[in-house]
Amino acid sequence: MNTRPNTPPSTSPSTAPRTVFLLAHTGRPAAVRSAELVVLGLLRSGIGVRVLAAEAADLPLPPSVETVPEATPDVLDGCELLIVLGGDGTLLRGAEFARASGVPMLGVNLGRVGFLAEAERDDLDKVVDRVVTRAYEVEERMTLDVAVYNNGDLLHTNWALNEAAVQKVAPERMLEVVLAIDGRPVTGFGCDGVICATPTGSTAYAFSAGGPVIWPEVEALLMVPIGAHALFAKPLVTTPDSVLAVEVEPHTPDGVLWCDGRRTVTLPAGARVEVRRGSVPVRLARLHHASFSDRLVAKFALPVSGWRGAPR
């Protein structure tokens, strides 16, 4: 994970037009109210706002807000920041825009945990102020490149910020798989699935499946079995340059691949899923310098009342 201060454009901030893209879960009343507050705050400071036309219809926005047709790779052209208001699903949707455009994403959590978010709904005034003054830093988060093969033929490619999960389809049947690291088989078993995750994803699905929490600064890949029937079915942590593979046995029922719980493809029996470090990171805007330890405690409400301070 690389972190650096936000660098203003080479042109003078007083003369260069500034535009922020806003993405919101308009099905949430809290998101609609939050979007209105953020938009009005930015417009008062002379910063333009752009939204998707489909979302603009559900938001009480001034006429000066720019609308664009349904999502295309270039909808963030000319934008310096992507602000996302919503829960984990909306934040992952925003990550798709951020990766495609290279524009940093600033998430405001309106859901439950929201590890990808940098602010909570009570921080909206602070969010607007930091955006206006460019008082934020940008860090890069590792992604995954995912490829599906069958009989040596490439069937499908995808990507993930959190995880690529190979899972069973039939609830009454286990998925028989063989795991491999860097081209060498490691173990095989029947299971409900296998998760391949980034450090960012270690606090998401992989965490629920019993995987370790990995600090975002650590460059590594993570493989976590789900409901495996085996003695050796522990989470594996590898180098960031490793290639993780999950092979679906030929005699097993079809499986399914989910990337970030949003993009999916069927895995025929005998398919091989290869996961490696992604070639394109996702850039996140950060407002705080709080350690990941503090973030972990806050998000999971961990008990730390007995701590007496660092040794002296």
Please count the structural domains in the chain: 2
Whether residue 93 is annotated as binding a ligand: the answer is: yes
Q: Which of 109, 141, 173 is the last residue of a domain?
A: 141
Whether residue 254 is annotated as binding a ligand: the answer is: no
Whether residue 203 is annotated as binding a ligand: the answer is: yes
Verify that 114 and 162 share a domain, yes or no: no
pLDDT confidence of residue 175: 95
- Return the active site residues: 88
Verify that 117 and 155 share a domain, yes or no: no
Verify that 30 and 133 share a domain, yes or no: yes
Give the range of the structural domain holding residue 212, as residue numbers without chain letter. 144-277
Verify that 27 and 136 share a domain, yes or no: yes
Verify that 154 and 246 share a domain, yes or no: yes
Whether residue 115 is annotated as binding a ligand: the answer is: no
Verify that 193 and 131 share a domain, yes or no: no
Amino acid at the residue 48: G
Whether residue 217 is annotated as binding a ligand: the answer is: no
Verify that 180 and 55 share a domain, yes or no: no
Whether residue 162 is annotated as binding a ligand: the answer is: yes
CATH number of domain containing 52: 3.40.50.10330
Verify that 123 and 150 share a domain, yes or no: no
Whether residue 86 is annotated as binding a ligand: the answer is: no
Verify that 193 and 174 share a domain, yes or no: yes
Verify that 132 and 152 share a domain, yes or no: no
Whether residue 252 is annotated as binding a ligand: the answer is: no
Concatenate the DSSP letters of all residues of the chain into one string. Answer: -EEEEPPPPSS-TTTS--EEEEEE-TTSHHHHHHHHHHHHHHHHTT-EEEEEHHHHTTS---TTSEEE-S--TTTTTT-SEEEEEESHHHHHHHHHHHHHH---EEEEE-SS--TT-SEEGGGHHHHHHHHHTT--EEEEE--EEEEEEETTEEEEEEEESSEEEEEESSTTSPEEEEEEETTEEEEEEEESEEEEE-TGGGGTHHHHTTPPP--TTS--EEEEEES-BSSS---EEE-TT--EEEEEPTTSPPEEEEETTTEEEEE-TT-EEEEEE-SS-EEEEE-----HHHHHHHHHT---TT---S--
Verify that 97 and 158 share a domain, yes or no: no
Is residue 303 included in any domain, yes or no? no
pLDDT tens-place values along the chain, 312 residues long: 666 656 544 444 456 789 999 999 888 888 899 999 999 999 999 999 999 998 888 888 899 999 998 778 789 999 999 999 998 999 999 999 999 999 999 999 987 777 889 898 888 999 999 999 999 999 999 999 999 999 999 999 999 999 999 999 988 889 999 999 999 999 999 999 999 999 999 999 999 999 999 999 999 999 999 999 998 899 999 999 999 999 999 988 889 999 999 999 999 999 999 999 999 999 999 998 778 998 899 888 899 988 888 766
Verify that 149 and 201 share a domain, yes or no: yes
